[in-house]
Amino acid sequence: MWIAAAYGLLWLAFAGYLFYPWLRRYRGSWGATGAALGAWLCLTTGLVERSILAGHWPLANRYEFALCFVWTILSVYLLLEASWRERGCGVFVMAMGLFVASYAVTRPEAMKAIASLIPALRSPWLQLHAATAAIAYGGFGVVAGLGLARLFSARMPERLPPDGELERMMERSVALSFPWLTFSILAGAIWAQNAWARFWGWDPKETWALLTWLWYLMTLHLFPLPRWRGQRMAIFLLIGFGLVIFTFIGVPWLVQLVRLESLHGF
């Protein structure tokens, strides 16, 4: 119930941010933020309820991780909106959140069922590894939304902040999200040592996580260079989020399709 309500409110928030310029004229722009906040509250309640019923953090499979992914996108964006006092980019960020949320709600019912953890997941490193990954992924989702806004800024100058301000927020958001991805990979390596007696094994999931980390490391080094800013950087950030999505969704699909060896459940 709570997850369905959150999904519906996400669509409402998307519509509110889409019509933000018109709503602003009638002082109704707060409605979009209210819907996004409502989605966050419903999702928070649903995740807490699921955690209590399952007896563990809701990070045991792709469905639960996707919900945490969306929760982090909403959390980061609402904090950004509160500090930035700018709603023009909300429609682009909500689009990223809806993409991940739609993936979550279309998962098979068997995956949505609450189940106890398998022995390999009964480790505190699960929370550290998966939770920090969700924070990083959510932050990069917001970054991708800002990057998409930058691509449309020339066509929508009346609804979006100035390009320089938008690019500063893109850079700061990457800089804040990147350490979480770094810690997630390190925590995963320590967990792998405890579970499989090796820190790194070039598992498909590990390889793509490393490629994603290297991509965002590159973008951080390119931000100070003027010729790499603007729409070119926005495209780089969207590609980075594509790597995030492929690491999360594409790698398990590829492993199953090609029958690669992988020790990762999701």
Q: Would residue 263 count as lying in a domain?
A: no
The dihedral sign for the CA sequence 6, 8, 14, 18: negative
- Measured CA to CA, the distance from residue 15 to residue 98 in angstroms comes to 11
pLDDT one-digit tens code per residue, 129-163:
999 999 999 999 999 999 999 999 888 888 888 98
Q: Would residue 264 count as lying in a domain?
A: no
Chain centroid offset of residue 232 CA: 22
Range of the domain at 160: 2-258
pLDDT one-digit tens code per residue, 49-97:
999 998 888 988 899 999 999 999 999 999 999 998 888 899 999 999 9
What is the pLDDT at residue 23? 66
154-183 mean pLDDT: 91
Q: Would residue 266 count as lying in a domain?
A: no
Number of domains within the chain: 1
pTM: 0.93
Q: Would residue 89 count as lying in a domain?
A: yes
What is the pLDDT at residue 158? 80
**Residue 172: CB partners within 8 Å, gap ≥ 6?**
none
- Measured CA to CA, the distance from residue 143 to residue 259 in angstroms comes to 33
Structure tokens at 258: 């090609």
Residues 200/206, Cβ–Cβ less than 8 Å: yes
Structure tokens at 195: 């579970």
Residues 88/159, Cβ–Cβ less than 8 Å: yes
